[in-house]
Amino acid sequence: MNKVCSPYFDPEFDELAERLFGPTCRVCIDNESLEDCTLVKVNSINKQGILLEVVKVLTDMNLTISKSYISSDAGWFMFVFYVKDEHDNKLTDQRVINSIQQAIGTTREIPNSLTYVNNVIESEPASEHTAIEMSGADRPGLFSEISAALADLQVNIVEAHAWTHNERLACVAYITDQSTDSRIEDPHRLAKIENHLATVLGAANISRTNHQEVKGADLHVGEATTTCAERRLHQLMLSVEDFEGPSAHTTSSSETPLGLDDDDDEGSKAIVSIESCNERGYSIVSIECKDRPRLMFDVVCTITDMQYLIFHGSTASHGGYAMQEYFIRHIDGCTVNSEGEKEHVVKCLEAAIERRVCEGVRLELCANNRLGLLSDITRVLRENGLAVVRADVETQGEKAVNAFYVKDLSGNDVDTEFTEPKKKEKFIESVKKEMGPIDLSVKKEITSSPSSPDHRPRFSVGDMVKSHVDRLSNNFIPIKN
């Protein structure tokens, strides 16, 4: 008998690369280096969109990123985030730390979609729901009309998010059939829903300023995507060119940043500038604006969706003011060279920062969920002379939890209607009388005033590379090509 020989494979060979170089994404939670915040250090294979995914994980857990450093080299990324919890403290809850480890550090790749419900990681959302995505021109009361149309179609609104900016509206909603409480799969029923909503949106798709049809308006009813709702809202707003709306503007880097004067009503505006770094082959995007929650996510999301890659960057916030700096290239390897391209990028980033800012009156309502509840709520608001400019709607068990930012039907602030206790109490009583048992609170939200120019945070990517990444990355396994 001939002896057959075959090569021997060490069963531990497949783990050799990981033992030498570590997993493709590693995270270190450091609570010892600093007294006032926690360092989250991420070492990862460089793939498109991974920075956005990591930032989303942190912001979805209601963590504040007060400072960050980003650096890439030879296909490898290093991120350092200075974070605090929602109470402005270091991370001490082991469940939060474990969630960060689970979402970023213990898997070979960052998942395409992560959702957090009460800070607990859930799998890809909305597979049991039908998704509706709408974008187009906005008008006072449009969100109320959309809610009424869905109620007429006998569907439950499980979750909905709507933004308005520069006379544009973007809305993402997840619905179920009222009778089965499950995803709608009948193509005839889906077509009926889409046609009904198209009628509502079609009447609105003319800009009130220039009386022209809004470009890029769209409506889709069907299976939910794995892209998170916030990112889809940014994408939908970009598609209808909200950066070209009536309040859009382009600011040169030599202008004094808006928002530093307490008397300036345009304090939420951002200063965005783009410079060339020809010796390194990068374009440098610099941003100065008021600080607010989820600011870094909005900026990184927009840069990513415009098909640019971030190679280095740093962010800092202090005294209500934020500064961000990113070294970018287009995915084809080119920098931002032409003046037209620079102007386009500046406008898109300004819009991304502005569209989530809603200073003024915020209404929070909680009631037993039922068919048509959202339609009834928005109708009552409209009958009280209020238009919804931003909405976040979700169901928690048997309860519907809604948050609305409102203005009057002419688009003006309604602060005076709620500053006087008697008017505020009268409004709450009128809503409860119409809606029945409901928890309603009225809040006035004001973005904190930024610090003076002398106290704004200062940094540069060059200083970051020299003094931070080398020092803070010493816990990582070195990578060799």
pLDDT in tens, 8-19: 444 443 444 344
Say what the pTM is.
Answer: 0.81
Segment 236-242 shows an average pLDDT of: 94
- Say whether pLDDT at 126 is over 50: no
The pLDDT, as a whole number, for residue 250 is 40
Is the pLDDT reported for residue 92 higher than 80? yes
Q: C-alpha distances in angstroms, 294 versus 66, 79, 152, 179, 473?
A: 11, 17, 35, 37, 25
pLDDT, mean of residues 249-270: 45
Say which residue, 202 or 385, is predicted with more confidence.
Answer: 385
Per residue in 181-190, pLDDT (tens digit) is 899 999 999 9
Q: What is the pLDDT of residue 358?
A: 78
pLDDT beyond 80 at 214: no
For residue 467, the model assigns a pLDDT of 45
Q: Which residue has the higher pLDDT, 227 or 164?
A: 164
User: Does pLDDT of 253 surpass 70?
Assistant: no
Tell me what pLDDT residue 101 has. 87
Q: What percent of the chain is predicted at pLDDT more than 90?
A: 52
Q: What is the pLDDT of residue 463?
A: 52
Place of tokens 């060119």: 241
Give the pLDDT confidence score for residue 443 in this predicted structure: 84
Mean pLDDT of the 437-444 span: 86
pLDDT of the residue at 108: 41
C-alpha span between 456 and 444 (Å, rounded): 26
Q: If pLDDT is split at 50, 70 and 90, which confidence band does 422 have?
A: confident
Structure confidence at residue 39 as a pLDDT band (50, 70, 90): very high
CA distance 251 to 246: 15
As a residue count, the chain comes to 481
Question: Apex CA 362: angle with CA 356 and CA 366, to 5°?
Answer: 115
pLDDT for residue 293 is more than 70: yes
261 vs 420, residue with greater confidence: 420
**pLDDT (tens digit, 9 = 90+) per residue, 315-372?**
999 889 999 999 999 999 999 989 999 999 999 999 999 998 877 789 999 999 999 9
Instruction: Work out the mean pLDDT of the chain and round it to a whole number.
Output: 80
Q: State the average pLDDT over residues 80-93.
A: 94
Q: pLDDT per residue over 133-157, tens digit each?
A: 999 999 889 999 999 999 999 999 9
- Per-residue pLDDT band for 195 (boundaries 50, 70, 90) equals very high
The per-residue pLDDT for 257 is 37
pLDDT band of residue 301 (cuts 50, 70, 90) is very high
Contacts of 204 (CB under 8 A, 6+ apart): 136, 137, 138, 139, 142, 169
What is the structure's pLDDT at 275? Answer: 95
